[in-house]
Amino acid sequence: MKKIGILFGQENTFPQAFIDRINEKKQSDIVAEFVSIPQVEQAVATDYAVIIDRISQDVPFYRAYLKNAAITGTAVINNPFWWSADEKFFNNAVAVQVGVPVPKTVLLPSKDRPDDTNEKSFRNLQMMNWDAIFQHIGFPAFMKPHAGGGWKHVYKLNNAEEFFRAYDETNQLVMLYQEAIEFDDYFRCYCIGGKDVRIMPYEPRNPHHLRYATEPKTTGPAGKKLMATVTDYVLKLNMALGYDFNTVEFAVRDGIPYAIDFGNPAPDADIYSVGQENFDWVVETAANYAIERARAHKPGQSNLTWGTFIRNSTQGQGLTTASAPAPTAQPETAPEAAKPKGKKKTSAS
Ligand SMILES: Nc1ncnc2c1ncn2[C@@H]1O[C@H](COP(=O)(O)OP(=O)(O)O)[C@@H](O)[C@H]1O
Ligand SMILES: [Mg+2]
């Protein structure tokens, strides 16, 4: 019997539905449950063939537990090592290398020095040429943490004065400074198993509970082409980064989808935000994928997914160098899965 577990925090709708969906499928050799953690001992395996992690970004103890689970054979979704390593600025560099458009972006040194450093710690850093930066990025622009999430410390800025006022508030955070994409369409796309894509029209300017209550503005043949491009970009990014369960956001300007936020390994899956249809898709696809991973699970071995950046790097190759095909990639299945599913009505939360 192989066990699939889910590790989760404050969310209330996805975890139970995920477990129920797997168990409803009545596989003779697979059962799903909420992860239950006893005393955690180094190099001692868990009972789980697969664990889907929805919370270790907020609980360092869980992250360490999952790494120990991974080295003793559990297939952890998403790979906890990779999740610990990447951040938004690096992700943007990956996007550039795999040919996915991203906003022009520069990395800013933190406004305040990190604890226990002084000016001597920064002798390698040149003075910032703010005029050159503003000229390169332009206004309006976004400034946001390079390793952030949940819309925290995200600023939209219209001029240098606003920039410096915001920068002053960022303390020790390392920020990205990037061109604002003034968009016609915006999409949030689920990608599960590096192969199944669900494009959800999303309006970030709406109040939280109405963000999925929108339809694509680009329709007809142009809309179809746009969906195919978005699907292709979602797969390219997830293939390179090696996420099993992720969302990718795009802002579309003049027909070009720019990737905005694409390292979301515990994306919001709540029925009250994504709506019933999207929720059902996520539950079903995640359940099937977890079962697939449980069946492929080899006890005592590494059962993690690594993206092409890491796999190529271990071969001394860059991202753009052709490498062995990704084991889970099946791009030809995507267009069907990627039909936009606009949601007319959201449930009240
Ligand atoms: N460069 C940008 N152009 C247009 N909108 C942006 C840009 N960067 C961020 N946003 C807006 O701000 C929101 C939050 O930024 P995001 O990068 O998703 O941060 P977080 O990881 O905190 O969610 C996005 O959903 C989007 O609406
Ligand atoms: Mg976001």
Ligand 1 pocket test target in 88, 139, 151, 177 with most atoms within 8 Å of CB: 151
- The span from the CA of 94 to the CA of 240, in Å, is 7
Asked if pLDDT for residue 343 goes beyond 60, the answer is: no
Q: What is the pLDDT of residue 346?
A: 37
Is any ligand 1 atom within 6 A of the Cβ of residue 154? yes
How wide is the angle at C-alpha 98 spanned by C-alphas 102 and 205, nearest 5°?
A: 25
Asked if pLDDT for residue 284 goes beyond 70, the answer is: yes
Asked if pLDDT for residue 327 goes beyond 80, the answer is: no
Is any ligand 1 atom within 6 A of the Cβ of residue 149? yes
- The span from the CA of 165 to the CA of 175, in Å, is 14
Residue closest via CA to ligand 1's atom 6 equals 180
Closest CA relative to residue 179, chosen from 129, 246, 238, 253: 253
| CATH of 2-85 given 3.10.450.50, 3.40.50.10800, 3.40.50.20, 3.40.50.2300 | 3.40.50.20
Asked if pLDDT for residue 210 goes beyond 90, the answer is: no
Is any ligand 1 atom within 6 A of the Cβ of residue 230? no
Atom of ligand 1 nearest to the CA of 150: 22
Could you read off the pLDDT of 288-310 as tens digits, one per residue? 999 999 999 999 999 999 999 99
pTM of the model: 0.91
Q: Separation of 143 CA from ligand 1 center, angstroms?
A: 9
Q: Which positions ≥6 away from 100 have C-beta within 8 Å?
A: 233, 236, 237, 259
- The span from the CA of 56 to the CA of 63, in Å, is 5
Is any ligand 1 atom within 6 A of the Cβ of residue 64? no
Q: Which CATH class is domain 104-179?
A: alpha beta
**What CATH number was assigned to the domain covering residues 185-278+305-337?**
3.30.470
Is any ligand 1 atom within 6 A of the Cβ of residue 250? no
Indicate the range of 111-125, 126-140, 203-217, 298-312 predicted with least confidence: 203-217
Closest CA relative to residue 258, chosen from 136, 103, 137: 103
Amino acid at 15: P
Share in percent of the chain as helix, strand, coil (round to 5): 35, 20, 45
Is any ligand 1 atom within 6 A of the Cβ of residue 151? yes
- List the domain boundaries for the chain: 2-85, 104-179, 185-278+305-337
Indicate the average pLDDT of the chain.
92
Q: What is the pLDDT of residue 209?
A: 84
Is any ligand 1 atom within 6 A of the Cβ of residue 140? no
Asked if pLDDT for residue 339 goes beyond 60, the answer is: no
- The span from the CA of 247 to the CA of 33, in Å, is 24
54 φ/ψ angles, rounded to the nearest 5 degrees: -115, 5
Could you read off the pLDDT of 29-61 as tens digits, one per residue? 999 999 999 999 999 999 999 999 999 999 999
